[in-house]
Structure 1
Amino acid sequence: MWRRNSAHTIEVHLFIRGLDVNTEAKEGVVLVTGGSGYVGGWMIVGLLKRGFKVRTTVRDIAREASVRAAVTSQGVSGDGPTFCVADLSADKGWADAVSGCDFVVHVASPMGEGEPKGTDLLGPARDGTLRVLSAAVEAGVKRVVVTSSLAAALPARPGEEAVASDGAVWTDVNGKGVSDYARSKTLAERAAWEFIQQSNGATTLTTILPGMIMGPVMKRSISGSVGVVARLLAGKVPAIPNVGFNIVDVRDLVELHIEAMLAPQAAGQRFLASSDFLWLGDIARLLRENLGDHAAKVTSRRLPDFILRITALFQADARFMVSMIGRRPRFNTALASTLLDWHPRPASVAVLDCARSLLKAGLVPGSAPES
Structure 2
Amino acid sequence: MTEAHKETVLLTGISGFLGGHVALALLKAGFPVRGSVRSLAKADKVRDTLARAGADTKGLSFVELNLTRDAGWDAAMDGVSFLQHTASPFVLNMPDDRNELIRPAVEGTERAIGAALRAGVKRIVLTSSMAAIAYGHDKTGAPCFSAADWTRLDGRPINAYVESKTRAERRAWQMMDDAGRRADLATINPGAIFGPLLDEDPGTSALLVRRLLDGSVPAAPRIPITPVDVRDVAAAHLAAMTTPEAGGQRFPLAVAPQYFIDVARTLRQRYPDRRIPRLQMPDLAVRLYALFDRDVRDNLGELGYAKRLDAAPSIALLGQPLIPAETAVLATAESLIQHGLV
AA of the residue aligned to 1:180: A
- Residues 210 and 248, structure 1, Cα contact 8 Å, conserved in 2: yes
Give deviations 1:285-314, integer Å, cap 9, x for gaps: 111112233xx1212243232233244456
Q: Aligned equivalents of 1:212 and 1:115: distance in 2?
A: 16
Partner residue in 1 for 2:217: 237
1:132 paired with 2:112, answer: yes
Partner residue in 2 for 1:55: 34
For residues 1-371 of structure 1, the aligned pairs below 5 Å read: 22-119=1-98, 120-154=100-134, 156-162=137-143, 164-200=144-180, 204-293=184-273, 296-313=274-291, 315-364=293-342
- Give 3-state SS (helix, strand or coil) of 2:308's partner: coil
Structure number with higher relative contact order (C-alpha < 8 Å, ≥ 6 residues apart): 2
- Give 3-state SS (helix, strand or coil) of 1:158's partner: coil
Partner residue in 2 for 1:12: none
Shift in alpha-carbon separation, 1:157–1:300, aligned structure 2, 3 A: same
TM-score (norm. length: structure 1): 0.87
Displacement of 1:362 after TM fit? Answer: 1.2
Name structure 2 gaps, 5 residues minimum. Answer: none
Moved more, 314-323 or 355-364: 314-323
Give deviations 1:133-191, integer Å, cap 9, x for gaps: 000000111111001100111162112134x2111100101212222211111111011
Q: Aligned equivalents of 2:59 and 2:292: distance in 1?
A: 44
Shift in alpha-carbon separation, 1:202–1:227, aligned structure 2, 3 A: closer
AA of the residue aligned to 1:263: T
Displacement of 1:258 after TM fit? Answer: 0.4
Shift in alpha-carbon separation, 1:160–1:111, aligned structure 2, 3 A: same
The CA RMSD measured in Å over matched residues stands at: 1.7
Q: Aligned equivalents of 2:250 and 2:311: distance in 1?
A: 10
Displacement of 1:334 after TM fit? Answer: 1.1
- Residues 216 and 354, structure 1, Cα contact 8 Å, conserved in 2: yes
Aligned pairs, number = 340
Q: Aligned equivalents of 1:239 and 1:107: distance in 2?
A: 34
Displacement of 1:116 after TM fit? Answer: 2.9
Q: Aligned equivalents of 1:244 and 1:272: distance in 2?
A: 17
Moved over 3 A (4+): 310-315
Q: Aligned equivalents of 2:150 and 2:235: distance in 1?
A: 24
AA of the residue aligned to 2:236: L
- Give 3-state SS (helix, strand or coil) of 1:209's partner: strand
- Residues 117 and 316, structure 1, Cα contact 8 Å, conserved in 2: no
Name structure 1 gaps, 5 residues minimum. Answer: 1-21, 365-371
- Residues 94 and 159, structure 2, Cα contact 8 Å, conserved in 1: no
TM-score (norm. length: structure 2): 0.95
Q: Aligned equivalents of 2:2 and 2:252: distance in 1?
A: 31
- Give 3-state SS (helix, strand or coil) of 2:125's partner: strand
Moved more, 176-185 or 122-131: 176-185
- Give 3-state SS (helix, strand or coil) of 2:106's partner: helix
Give deviations 1:254-310, integer Å, cap 9, x for gaps: 0001000011101100000112321110111111112233xx121224323223324
Displacement of 1:78 after TM fit? Answer: 4.7
AA of the residue aligned to 2:309: F
- Give 3-state SS (helix, strand or coil) of 2:186's partner: strand
- Residues 255 and 309, structure 2, Cα contact 8 Å, conserved in 1: no
- Residues 265 and 339, structure 1, Cα contact 8 Å, conserved in 2: no
